[in-house]
Structure 1
């Protein structure tokens, strides 16, 4: 008896969705552990135990710890849950993304994972390539938002798009590093004020 193609497709989709959910769960465990212990001190076995899955499941989805880190890095850069609220305004989207560089207290494991992966990438060629590829993707996204903002009349037309994106990325990354080096409300507030001013300075109605 032939299989029902629609049912087969639905079943396949369900399996795929479960696989993606499991990968996302594992990726979250990765940056939790690395934020706490550092990359060198975390093993695939520890990740499997913390994720409550078998080591075989981990190695099925990820060939190496570097691949796990790459997935966790990509997961952390996902668009925020409230992104739909900013549709139709590239400038508002740009501000929303920029303000995500304000550390959430009392602790933000994502940014501590990020700084660990950046530090390790200076000693690991595979991680360096992952970080470089991720940054290029991020840069293209910021360039797109700025260009769309100019077309919409929200962002000043006299600004060079790529130079503006590069300047902003230097600013926000510098601000997150300062917050990690000197955590506390004073540094967070200073970062928020500086980032808001950075966005205000490129708006046509500022």
Structure 2
């Protein structure tokens, strides 16, 4: 391979890149800035155009600085996925003590309506995961972890009597996750459907769906 071909592979993320010397400044802040730039590039120009050069330009860094933190495009994009799934887990941790499904679902919707790049990027990453094993592995692993956390929250609610117990918690977790994903996929196309009043109605309906039937007894009642 010629030097020019190697250089091109490093810049567009299609080939290996040598690690450069450690850039000066705040390591965590620069890494976060690059992830933000990657999300913006994917959302605005598409996954195929989110090259290392493009990301570097958006972040105000050199391509060499990008390759210090991320060896190639695959590593950059999987790091972006990991960081977003970390935020999903944080949503669950925040509501876990109260088993508050309404608060968790509201957090999903606010993440969608408050960040115009979030779901357009996720949709593209999900689509490309069909042919990119590294992306698929991250999505499968992290979604499974998310559902386990969600299931444990629902199990607590079932034990306390605030969530219906006639459907297994893992099934409820799967259904609620699918509902939230569906809303997020459609929001960029139909934002008019998600006015504040309608979001409140959707949240009320979600809580009603998982609440125990009116005649149900709490687990600790005779």
TM-score scaled by length of structure 2: 0.71
1:88 is matched with 97
Cα pair distance change 1:24/1:97, threshold 3 Å: farther
1:54 is matched with 62
Cα pair distance change 1:147/1:85, threshold 3 Å: closer
CA contact (8 A) 1:172 1:195 kept: no
2:162 is matched with 154
2:84 is matched with 76
CA deviation vs aligned residue, 1:44-86 (integer Å, no higher than 9, x gap)? 0111121122322321222221221222223233159898874
2:106 is matched with 99
Which runs of 5 or more structure 2 residues have no equivalent in the other structure? Answer: 1-24, 215-222
Cα pair distance change 1:57/1:149, threshold 3 Å: farther
CA contact (8 A) 1:156 1:203 kept: yes
How far apart are the structure 2 equivalents of 1:159 and 1:62? 44
Cα pair distance change 1:82/1:190, threshold 3 Å: same
TM-score scaled by length of structure 1: 0.76
Coordinate RMSD, CA, aligned: 2.9
CA contact (8 A) 2:88 2:146 kept: no
Quote how far apart the aligned CAs of 1:205 are: 8.6
Cα pair distance change 1:191/1:47, threshold 3 Å: same
CA contact (8 A) 1:24 1:75 kept: no
How far apart are the structure 2 equivalents of 1:161 and 1:82? 18
Quote how far apart the aligned CAs of 1:87 are: 6.0
How far apart are the structure 2 equivalents of 1:18 and 1:205? 54
* Secondary structure of residue in 2 paired with 1:157: coil
CA contact (8 A) 2:89 2:146 kept: no
Of 184, 206, 212 in structure 2, the residue corresponding to residue 198 of structure 1 is: 206
How far apart are the structure 2 equivalents of 1:185 and 1:147? 35
CA deviation vs aligned residue, 1:5-41 (integer Å, no higher than 9, x gap)? xxxxxxxxxxxx9322322221111111100011101
Of 186, 190, 204 in structure 1, the residue corresponding to residue 193 of structure 2 is: 186
2:120 is matched with 112
Instruction: Say which one has the larger Rg.
Output: 2
Aligned length: 186
1:132 is matched with 140
